[in-house]
Structure 1
Amino acid sequence: MFPDRVLSGMRPTGKLHLGHYHGVLKNWVQLQRTYPCLFMVADWHALTTSYDDVSVIEKSVWDMLIDWLAAGVDPEQAIIFIQSRVPEHAELHLLLSMVTPLSWLERVPTYKDQIEKLSHKDLGTYGFLGYPLLQAADILLYRGNLVPVGEDQVPHVEITREIGRRFNHLFGKEPDYQARAEAAIRKMPGKTGKRYAELRTRYQETGDAQALATARALLGEVQNLSQADRERLFGYLEGGGKMILPEAQPLLTEASRMPGLDGNKMSKSYGNTISLREDADTVAKKIRQMPTDPARVRRSDPGDPEKCPVWKLHEVYSDEGTRDWVTAGCKSAGIGCLECKQPVIDGVLAEQTPMFERAQPYLEDPALLRRIVDDGCERARALASETLRDVRAAMGLAYK
């Protein structure tokens, strides 16, 4: 069994907005305190849909990385790296492409959806068809078994799990596999080996899920097994072969509650965003210019917060007392729209203040950011090389 490890990434789109913060980055900051995490700039993925204009990629990468750090992603707690600086991603993608059925890629729900949404682009390329496989390689390369995603991205994790399972089925059967597994059982101390064998039999004969869970926990506690023997016994437990790649699981995250300035989802394509590090005057101006309840034509007209885009921002930034004040004041026309917007302005600026402070060192000295990325890429490559060593050996490519 592989240790819990989180892999997540973002395509470089330049400076990030508060929708990115509430939808992704806040969750990353929490995850890095609980799990070993790798956070990846997915610059190769950017090419799958934007290969016709690569001029903005480099600047977008550095702008986005500063925003990650500004949001609280900590290079002391997580590995921060750039996908294209770890060439093992490409090699694993190539090797997995040899065994991944074409039909699996064609049935990914977002494939046809994106073809329709981006009909103005020429997406009849292998890179676009194969991007779920590249995404699977990203995850499997670090044996990341936990993938933070929203519900719409769960199919990508499912295909990653299927690809890992297929690879293990095809290549996990090493010569004398059963004899090696039984020898590993004999290495287990005391009655532990006998207990493992009993649990394995119970699971394989009756499908007892509790027996499977108990046996997995038992293997995790045994101290004198090598990693290779441990992987053999995890596979032997379920009647398969040696587990070379993990079966990834989705780590479901809440959908972003951050609305845009027009009440719709905050998105650059809608032109309704507030950047993470937008200056205070611009933030205040944008919020003051937000549309409100159409019924409030005059200051004396009562309104309904539920029909006002500003209310959605109050749900993010205001406490219960402030929301009660807004509700009562709006419905009675006791407060004007500009008064209503001020607590939101104050809340956004308070959220952004530490972001400016965390970003400043990297703006003053870009070499600091480069060093963080260099270190992260080196650490990522060390993990990636371990996986590729095992994958090459399993596929008969470890000869010299």
Structure 2
Amino acid sequence: MKPVYVAGAAVHPFGKQPGLNAAELGYRAVRQLVEQTGITPDAVDVGYGGSSYGGSLLTQRVLQRVGVSGPPVYTVENACASGASAVHLGWQAVASGAADCVIAFGAENLSSFGGGTLPLTTNDIEIEQGMVMPAAYAMRAQRYLHDFGATADDLTAVSVKNRRNGAQNPRAHFQREISPQDVADSRAIADPLRLLHCCPNSDGAAAVLLCSEDFARQLDTPRVRVRGSVVRSGTFHTQFRDMTWPDITARTAKAAYEMAGLAPADLDLVELHDAFSIAELLHAEALGIAERGKAHQAVRNGEFDRDGRVAVSPSGGLISRGHPVGATGATQICEAYWQLTGQAGPLQVPGASVALTHVTGGGIFGVDNGACAMHILTAD
């Protein structure tokens, strides 16, 4: 495979933006990317856009507005991993030699659904019986607390940390620190989860430029190398499920580490899928940055702080930055790009040279999650 680089990143800030549909949000992020990198429309060999709710031909509607008209473009739906899956396909195109310049983006508007939990497909036995994502993660949380001696205060520590990180992120949905008392006072969602243990439904978009080494040399923007890019789906079975072990994350991580030739101890920062506070604990253990059943202790000891052993969600994560589903995975890569090129400002992780991004999603019967996408990036 040929080396693949990220040579540009752009995010349209997350938040409630009911007047902007997914195509408009995606256009704003892609336009910013094009302006920053200085690429011309005819330089783009292929485009990929990720979205769960953005509608048919989203990528054409976005790219045509920046003048990219004619080359192959694809719209990817892979639940919360949609944007990261779009980046993965762009990586495949460059790594195979089929393309030198690729735009990949994710975009979503969730305001159109109003409040409450996101609608899930009814063509699923568990969802037909009332399963929603907060309930699924509440069950995982209850089992984790029972098995490993953690408490609801440990879940709260994740929310407090990530909201503290996001308070310094101008792209984040929430830019205010919270206290443990704020979490305790927020309304109950699904025991033991309270509102501030959960990420918000957000609107937003993010775009990255993926390119070959030769193409990257022609640009004035800094670059980082994509050392690993992996997508996996859940393994189907109808037997007992260990609610404290996200197998899909563990399998994806194993493949990503092998591809990159790196190990969990090499990571300086991780942007993971903390859709609920318990998710940070579960995925941190599956990623190998904490021992099984001890991630809550790592949070308590400051090991996941921005200046800790490995910074986890230094951007604020989904809990603070927000979660516009299809845009989340692409945004994580943007945040990692800025960290590795020293452009993260107040979010900067000291000496960051290796970053991992992780997003997973899609609740369907018989698997722990429907899709998982992971990228490992290094400073060039």
> Which bin holds the TM-score, normalised by the shorter protein?
under 0.3
Relative contact order (C-alpha < 8 Å, sep 6+): which is higher?
2
Structure with bigger helix share is: 1
Structure exhibiting the larger radius of gyration computed from Cα positions: 1
- Length-normalised TM-score, structure 2: 0.21
Structure with greater strand percent:
2
TM-score normalized with structure 1 length: 0.20
